[in-house]
Amino acid sequence: MKTTTVGIDLAKNVFQVCALNRAGKVVSNQAVKRAALTETVAQLQPSLIAMESCAGAHHWGRTFQMLGHKVILVPPQHVKPFVRGGKSDPRDALAICEAARRPGLHPVPIKPLAQQDLQSLHRVRQQQVQHSTGIANQIRGIAHEYGVCFPVGLKRLCREVPYALEDADNGLTGAARELLARRFIDLLAIREEIERTSQRIVALAEGLPPWPRLMKLHGFGVMVTSSYLASIGDGRQFKRGRQVAAWLGLVPRQHGSGGKMRLHGMTKSGDRYLRTMMLHGARAAICWSRDRDTPLARWINPIVERRGFNKAVVALANKNARIAWNIVANGAHYDPGKAFGSA
């Protein structure tokens, strides 16, 4: 019978390929080695191919699309309820098929190569920043054990460490000075790597059409804009801006029972890195808006007074996520007066 749905359980070397017919009956469920996977899928009639959104999924998704198939990536949490019995590759592949056939499924969009390049650079930069912070904290901790304290801030740390190493009257021993000097060299090197990675991110993101329009948003700098484009892409997977804000976890968590609905803190779902970047950007925009007479200031400053600074940060990040989606998905232009009710 004709195959209509194919579920592939991805792996490094051996993949499990499960095929269903129109009635939902299993036609085949076999293991395929990596070298033979593309040829195996190429021999299938045009079908719906489903895979879990995991490592390598975007690569295989692009490959199978070039072979004429419709490809969807299923979030792993939507597959788990369909796994029957103990865990095994054939059961996982069958569960992927069944999850893909469910109505109302929201698949993960397949990233184009340019978007994946941009996201990969952001992941590298994120790790570099974490490494830099770890080295800086280690320098502070070691020096503190010898009675030497450095001022707050990375720039001031980099400025003060050379003076501390040259000061013969402080409590640093020879071994401690040598250790701190090596760590300081490592810190300077990783800061240079961060700068080079940031320049590559900007060079890649500047070529994307929404870039100049997104950069006009308050709270959208270079890193926020590029990380937004790396995660959202063209935004067509969302029907409206509210879905973007909910996907990023910038909405209250709802809990209802017995006809009573209560709202709690942020859900904090979705892309944690992008949410963090947008909150940082919103925080900077609110600080900039103090004592100013702009549409943004007239909208956000009363919220700060009524609800407090942190809730105002989340409110602006939520609004920015929705405005940015309209810019990316619909080609709109940023109008502060219209966006903040002062048109």
312 and 286 in contact (C-beta within 8 Å)? Answer: yes
**Same domain for 198 and 215?**
no
Phi-psi region of 235 (alpha: psi -120 to 50; beta: other; left: phi over 0): left
- Beta strands of the chain (E only): which ranges? 3-9, 14-21, 26-33, 48-52, 70-74, 252-257, 260-266
Give the Cα separation of 95 and 26 in Å (integer).
Answer: 11
Domain boundary among the residues 186, 205, 224 is at 205
Mean pLDDT along residues 152-172: 91
What would the pLDDT profile of 282-295 be if each residue is shown by its tens digit?
A: 999 999 999 888 89
**Same domain for 66 and 185?**
no
Give the Cα separation of 331 and 124 in Å (integer).
Answer: 30
**Same domain for 215 and 333?**
yes
Tell me, yes or no, whether 105 lies in a domain: no
**Same domain for 135 and 27?**
no
**Same domain for 125 and 57?**
no
Which pLDDT value is given to residue 342?
56
Given a cut of 50, is residue 171 above it in pLDDT?
A: yes
Tell me, yes or no, whether 246 lies in a domain: yes
Work out the percent of the chain whose per-residue pLDDT is above 90.
Answer: 66
What would the pLDDT profile of 20-48 be if each residue is shown by its tens digit?
A: 888 888 888 899 999 999 998 898 888 89
Identify the domain containing residue 130 by its residue range: 113-205
Counting the structural domains of the chain, the total is 3
Given a cut of 70, is residue 1 above it in pLDDT?
A: no
User: How many C-beta atoms surround the C-beta of residue 22 within 10 A?
Assistant: 10
End-to-end CA, the chain:
61
Give the Cα separation of 327 and 235 in Å (integer).
Answer: 9
User: φ and ψ at 195, to 5 degrees?
Assistant: -65, -40
Tell me, yes or no, whether 159 lies in a domain: yes
Domain boundary among the residues 141, 176, 205 is at 205
**Same domain for 199 and 237?**
no
Rg of the chain over all Cα atoms, to the nearest angstrom: 25
DSSP letter for 153, please: S
Give just the sign of the alpha carbon dihedral 131, 136, 139, 145. negative
* Amino acid at position 133, single letter: T
What would the pLDDT profile of 69-98 be if each residue is shown by its tens digit?
A: 999 999 998 888 888 888 888 899 999 999
Q: Is 84 exposed, middle or buried (0-12, 13-18, 19+ CB in 10 A)?
A: exposed
- pTM greater than the 0.85 cutoff: yes
**Same domain for 320 and 229?**
yes
**Same domain for 95 and 163?**
no
Which pLDDT value is given to residue 104?
83
266 vs 35, more confident: 35
Tell me, yes or no, whether 75 lies in a domain: yes
Given a cut of 60, is residue 61 above it in pLDDT?
A: yes
Helices (H) and strands (E) in the chain, counts: 14, 7
Tell me, yes or no, whether 166 lies in a domain: yes
Work out the percent of the chain whose per-residue pLDDT is above 70.
Answer: 99
* Amino acid at position 47, single letter: S
User: Per DSSP, what are the bridge partners of residue 15?
Assistant: 32
**Same domain for 38 and 81?**
yes
> How big is the chain, counted in residues?
343
What would the pLDDT profile of 102-147 be if each residue is shown by its tens digit?
A: 888 888 899 999 999 999 999 999 999 999 999 999 999 999 999 9
DSSP-derived secondary structure for 46-63 = S-EEEEESSTTHHHHHHH
**Same domain for 216 and 200?**
no
Given a cut of 60, is residue 6 above it in pLDDT?
A: yes
Tell me, yes or no, whether 108 lies in a domain: no
**Same domain for 201 and 218?**
no
The domain that holds 10 is classified in CATH as: 3.30.420.10
Given a cut of 50, is residue 343 above it in pLDDT?
A: no
Of the listed ranges 52-66, 68-82, 123-137, 255-269, the least confidently predicted one is: 255-269
Given a cut of 50, is residue 257 above it in pLDDT?
A: yes
Domain boundary among the residues 158, 182, 205 is at 205
Which pLDDT value is given to residue 146?
92
Tell me, yes or no, whether 106 lies in a domain: no
Mean pLDDT of the chain: 91
**Same domain for 239 and 331?**
yes
Give the Cα separation of 291 and 293 in Å (integer).
Answer: 7
Tell me, yes or no, whether 89 lies in a domain: yes
